Amino acid sequence: MNWYKIAQQVLPISIVSYSPNIGELGISFNGGKKYIYLDVSPFLHDKINTLLRVKNYKKVNEILRNISVKKEEETPADKGEMLNELYEEGLLS
């Protein structure tokens, strides 16, 4: 494969932005949608960047899964509280 075709290939995972002030890391998967990861230290950014250079995408994916914000599951009590608030505001009858 010549250099031009190699340059045109889309990487499976790539860093599209990084703001060290707030620790915001922008990642693109297969050149598609951009995902934002919060509270990423400069050390972790450098580690991900190094792994991407050596094409260790499996390890990068593992790191990204560990730093992704996991949405807490709502308990039935939380759902009941939301319904009560909606009734009080008159949005539900």
Average pLDDT, the chain: 79
Q: What is the model's pLDDT at position 2?
A: 72
Asked which of 38-47, 67-76, 79-88 is least confident by mean pLDDT, the reply is: 67-76
pTM for this prediction = 0.63
User: Over 6-32, what HEC string results?
Assistant: HHHCCCCEEEEEEECCCCEEEEEECCC
pLDDT in tens, 13-27: 888 899 989 889 998
**Res 43 pLDDT > 90:** yes
Which amino acid is residue 55, in one-letter code? Answer: K
Identify the pLDDT of residue 93: 57
Q: So what's the pLDDT on residue 18? A: 93
38: phi then psi, degrees, rounded to nearest 5: -100, 160
| 90 DSSP assignment | T
